[in-house]
Structure 1
Amino acid sequence: MSHRLHLPGSSPVHRTPAEVKIVCAVISVCAVVATPREMFWPFACYAAGLFVVWRVAQIPLRWIAPRLLIELPFVVLAVLLPFAAGEPRTTIFGLSLSTTGLYAAWGIVAKGAIGVGISLTVAATTSVRELPGGLSRLHVPAMIVTIVVLMLRYVDLIADEAERMRVARISRGDDPRTLRQIGATARGVGSLFLRSYERGERVHMSMLSRGFTGTVTDFGTTPASGRQWILSCAPVSAVLGVCVGAWVAR
């Protein structure tokens, strides 16, 4: 099984077991979120650390950058906060902006971008076939493991089906960018839902006929060793240190 966010490679980050990367990612994101938004240097340290990890994992910036755009809706919200929040206020380029709103906007953009970057790093270096074993070794309930793995697997199938439907519409002279085609677009969404449901039924019956018991197979992935836990926790310790240092220096 593969996923379009996975970037195959043989780097040390790719070879790290999935459960280690999941734990490190969760702790790192929590530390980033807990960092005071009034401090700027901690986020520069986090960003520098991410660049180092991308370098080690051989993840090119041209691959990361377009996928960071998923944060755009939150950036739009952040742009509005300096105008909507209250006192105290400051003047920047002739505009009266809320100081609290500026800090809030900075916090949303910085923490969101770093959090998305961490998530993309885990997705790029972890294949779907590694997830069942990693989540199971973290004692995640088997049903949740099954739902997560199948969701990741079939999101790609639904996206491919939607792309085929879009190409079919365009080849028949339809222009989905115009408002007059909104009815056809709505019908297309309904058709995609029905096709996805029917395909899910067929896949489920096929899995049952092959002996599926409700648990996703581990595919024989190797558990993390103590050395891998220690080496992988070193960067996380640095992240926690930066977070604690930010609160002390605040």
Structure 2
Amino acid sequence: MSAHALHRPGDTSAHLLAPQIKIVSTFLFVVCVVATPRTEFAAFGAYLVVLTGVWVIARIPPRWLAPRALIEVPFVALAVLLPFVGGGTRTDMLGVSVSVDGALAGWNIVAKGTLGVLASLTLAATTSPSEILLGLQRLRVPKLIITVATLMLRYVELIAAEARRMRLARIARGHDPRFLWQVGATARGIGTLFVRTYERGERVHLAMLSRGWTGAMPEPNPPRVSTVDWLAGLVPAGLAAAMLVGALWAG
């Protein structure tokens, strides 16, 4: 799934909000989720309610989010095993002996991981990859990181297409990746692709320098972001912070 497959174009207020505001709000929201004690079950439910409100505003249907959230399945599988392999005090649940600490650790992984993935998907759905890079640039993220990320987004599909052509060429010459003894050919193909990608990157960089590249993405006439926009965009993060304080106070 490419980065563009995570973006859901729209004209809602969530889509039109400045990208740097959405990045900061998402980051603070995730920090609040991670900092919440694992036994504060109500707080995690409240976080999900906040995300649901954002989805309603941005008109993001759950059926669009569900298949994209499957990226966390390996972590969920690990969390499911923890109650059975964990140590410490044990209790019976539906006739099965489970570890209390393991069950809480598994819940901690599932709850925080799911909320983090859903928050990230919400940001990606309302903000295109180019807008995310623009927002990071406005937040004064180091120029080198912006440059690398920009080139990656521009050329990842090109590199994937070249990898497919190399694979078809190997198959046309009798290569069958289903056999273990042919893994060497696959490894050499990956090495060749790396070398070609590195050489392409050098050529692109030299071409950019010859055209006046200064190390920063140009942004003519950046729009002014008002205090009202910041306050509106930080509402989800503010609600999450209030829930975190309440959970810590109650604990």
The structural deviation recorded for 1:155 is 3.2
Q: Determine the structure 2 residue equivalent to 1:207.
A: 208
User: Is the Cα–Cα contact under 8 Å of residues 131 and 149 in structure 1 kept in the other structure?
Assistant: no
Q: Determine the structure 2 residue equivalent to 1:80.
A: 81
The structural deviation recorded for 1:35 is 1.0
Number of equivalenced pairs: 249
**Residues 166 and 247 of structure 1, relative CA distance in 2, 3 Å threshold:** farther
- The root-mean-square deviation of aligned C-alpha atoms, in Å, is 2.4
Runs of 4+ in 1 over 6 A off after TM superposition: none
Matched, 1:44 2:45: yes
Structure 1 counterpart of 2:88, one-letter code: E
The structural deviation recorded for 1:136 is 3.1
Unaligned regions of 5+ residues in structure 2, if any?
none
Separation in 2, partners of 1:195, 1:5: 28
The structural deviation recorded for 1:135 is 2.2
The structural deviation recorded for 1:211 is 1.7
Separation in 1, partners of 2:169, 2:64: 28
Separation in 2, partners of 1:168, 1:51: 47
The structural deviation recorded for 1:114 is 0.8
User: Is the Cα–Cα contact under 8 Å of residues 18 and 134 in structure 1 kept in the other structure?
Assistant: yes
Structure 2 counterpart of 1:117, one-letter code: L
Q: Determine the structure 1 residue equivalent to 2:64.
A: 63
Separation in 1, partners of 2:223, 2:17: 10
What are the Cα deviations for residues 198-221 of structure 1, in whole angstroms up to 9, with x where unaligned?
221222222223221111122544
**TM-score of the two chains, using structure 2 as the length reference:** 0.86
Structure 2 counterpart of 1:100, one-letter code: D
User: Is the Cα–Cα contact under 8 Å of residues 89 and 99 in structure 1 kept in the other structure?
Assistant: yes
**Residues 122 and 177 of structure 1, relative CA distance in 2, 3 Å threshold:** farther
Matched, 1:54 2:55: yes
Separation in 1, partners of 2:107, 2:190: 36
Structure 2 counterpart of 1:65, one-letter code: A
Q: Determine the structure 1 residue equivalent to 2:183.
A: 182
Matches within 5 A, 1:93-242: 93-166=94-167, 175-218=176-219, 220-242=221-243
The more displaced of 97-106 and 187-196 is 187-196
**TM-score of the two chains, using structure 1 as the length reference:** 0.87
User: Is the Cα–Cα contact under 8 Å of residues 130 and 219 in structure 1 kept in the other structure?
Assistant: no
Separation in 2, partners of 1:81, 1:203: 48
Unaligned regions of 5+ residues in structure 1, if any?
none
The more displaced of 185-194 and 99-108 is 185-194
**Residues 176 and 51 of structure 1, relative CA distance in 2, 3 Å threshold:** farther
The structural deviation recorded for 1:174 is 5.3
Separation in 1, partners of 2:219, 2:30: 27
What are the Cα deviations for residues 35-75 of structure 1, in whole angstroms up to 9, with x where unaligned?
11112222222222222222322233333222212212222
The structural deviation recorded for 1:176 is 3.5
- Tell me, what secondary structure is at the counterpart of 2:98? strand
Q: Determine the structure 2 residue equivalent to 1:13.
A: 14
Structure 2 counterpart of 1:203, one-letter code: V
Separation in 2, partners of 1:66, 1:160: 24
User: Is the Cα–Cα contact under 8 Å of residues 23 and 132 in structure 2 kept in the other structure?
Assistant: no
User: Is the Cα–Cα contact under 8 Å of residues 71 and 116 in structure 1 kept in the other structure?
Assistant: yes
- Tell me, what secondary structure is at the counterpart of 1:134? helix
The structural deviation recorded for 1:167 is 5.1
Separation in 2, partners of 1:171, 1:55: 50
Separation in 1, partners of 2:69, 2:35: 21
- Tell me, what secondary structure is at the counterpart of 2:97? strand
Structure 2 counterpart of 1:158, one-letter code: I
The structural deviation recorded for 1:122 is 1.4
Separation in 1, partners of 2:59, 2:173: 42
- Tell me, what secondary structure is at the counterpart of 1:33? helix
**Residues 164 and 122 of structure 1, relative CA distance in 2, 3 Å threshold:** farther
